[in-house]
Amino acid sequence: MSTTPTVVLVHGAFADAASWSGVVEELQSHGVPVIAPPNPLRGLASDAAYVASVASQIDGPVVLVGHSYGGALITVAGTTENVVGLVYVAAYALEEGESLGELQGRFPLSPLVSNLKQWTYPVPGGEPAVEVTIAEDAFPSVFAADVPAEVTRILAAAQRPLAAAAFEEKASAAAWKTKPSWALVAGADNAINPEVERFGAKRAGAMIVEIEGASHAVAVSQPKAVAELIRDAVRATG
């Protein structure tokens, strides 16, 4: 059984596991075991259960890393026994019993909120459910302002929708109360108000790094900085 924690990278809404590519490359180049599983994006409880299941099947300790909505998932899934640390990357760090909507509602809304596009998807035996993406013309400024235009066009076209119900689901646990945490605040985030990121990170007692001028897609634009924070967590927990 390895004593070096395996890093599990959990992407957020409007993205997929490929958004971690630069971070994966950096971690692998330093010999850090890492996987970036798909996030179903269908609801807080079910998505967190999926992440917890992935973590629990890894031999040895695990550091969970969550970007954006993925931060809410690691907050719940982090109670899994072999999880030894949490890293929040431009992410939501919820309190137990709190929803994304409630945490966001404490602060002025980001430009994301007025640029969401609604879709529907079928639910077996029920009415169609609502999911959201970011309007393609707004995607660069909202999600990835510091990423080259030719890349943001691809990211916008390939974005994965989030079930709208996820905004109202309440976290069933807050793993940061018993596990050490680290947080990267993206100082120029237009998807999550940076104040939301700072508030959650401070409440969690996280070791905080802030990157001025970084967009929500900081893992794409600054993978070395993101990987360095993750390596800090791996060194501290390994």
Tell me the C-alpha to C-alpha distance, in Å, between residue 164 and each of 2, 22, 77. 39, 29, 20
**Residue 233: pLDDT band by 50, 70, 90 thresholds?**
very high
The pTM of the full predicted model, rounded to 2 decimals, is: 0.98
Per-residue pLDDT tens digits for 176-193: 999 999 999 999 999 999
pLDDT exceeds 80 at position 2: no
Pairing of strands 116-121, 83-89: unpaired
pLDDT exceeds 80 at position 170: yes
pLDDT exceeds 80 at position 1: no
Per-residue pLDDT tens digits for 121-139: 999 999 999 999 999 999 9
Exposure string for 159-183, b = 16+ CB within 10 A, e = fewer: bbbbbbebbebbbebbbbeebbbbb
Q: Tell me, what's the pLDDT at 3? A: 87
- Say if residues 8 and 55 touch (Cβ distance below 8 Å): yes
Per-residue pLDDT tens digits for 69-95: 999 999 999 999 999 999 999 999 999
Q: Tell me, what's the pLDDT at 20? A: 98
Sheet strands (E) in 56-126: 62-67, 83-89, 116-121
